[in-house]
Amino acid sequence: MLDPRTFVCNRKCGECCIKFIVKLSKSDINAIKKEGYSEEDFVALDESLPEPTKFVLRKKANGRCVFLLKNKKGVYSCKIYDARPNVCKKYPFLKNKVDSCKPVMFKDLHR
């Protein structure tokens, strides 16, 4: 079983930042604004969601999170890692995580 206190992502594949719609709380928005971004830079409105979860993290035209970076080696990282939304901090310890995105330790068990 994964331990949230010691878990480290070894894949750096960015899948968790591509496949999710990330709902933003007011505290998430405020934390990101403290990093120097305006709400227009990263907040989108999803009218299909109930109040107060209508605010979601904006995605680029290619469907990736606006804060997802990719280096020349193809390794992904988060531009706002320390201020990332709470749901991002909780991944992969969520009930509804993406099935195709398994930590390396689990993926290796299924070979």
Answer for the pair 21, 35: CB distance below 8 angstroms, yes or no. Answer: no
Q: Domain coordinates of the chain in residue numbers? A: 15-109
pLDDT value at residue 2: 63
pTM of the model: 0.73
Q: H or E element: which one contains 100?
A: none
Mean pLDDT of 35-62: 88
User: Mean pLDDT for the chain?
Assistant: 79
Q: Looking at residue 110, what is its pLDDT?
A: 36
Q: Answer whether residue 30 shows pLDDT above 80.
A: yes
Predicted local distance difference test score (pLDDT) of residue 96:
55
Distance in angstroms (rounded) separating the CA atoms of residues 72 and 13: 13
Share of the chain above pLDDT 90, in %: 37
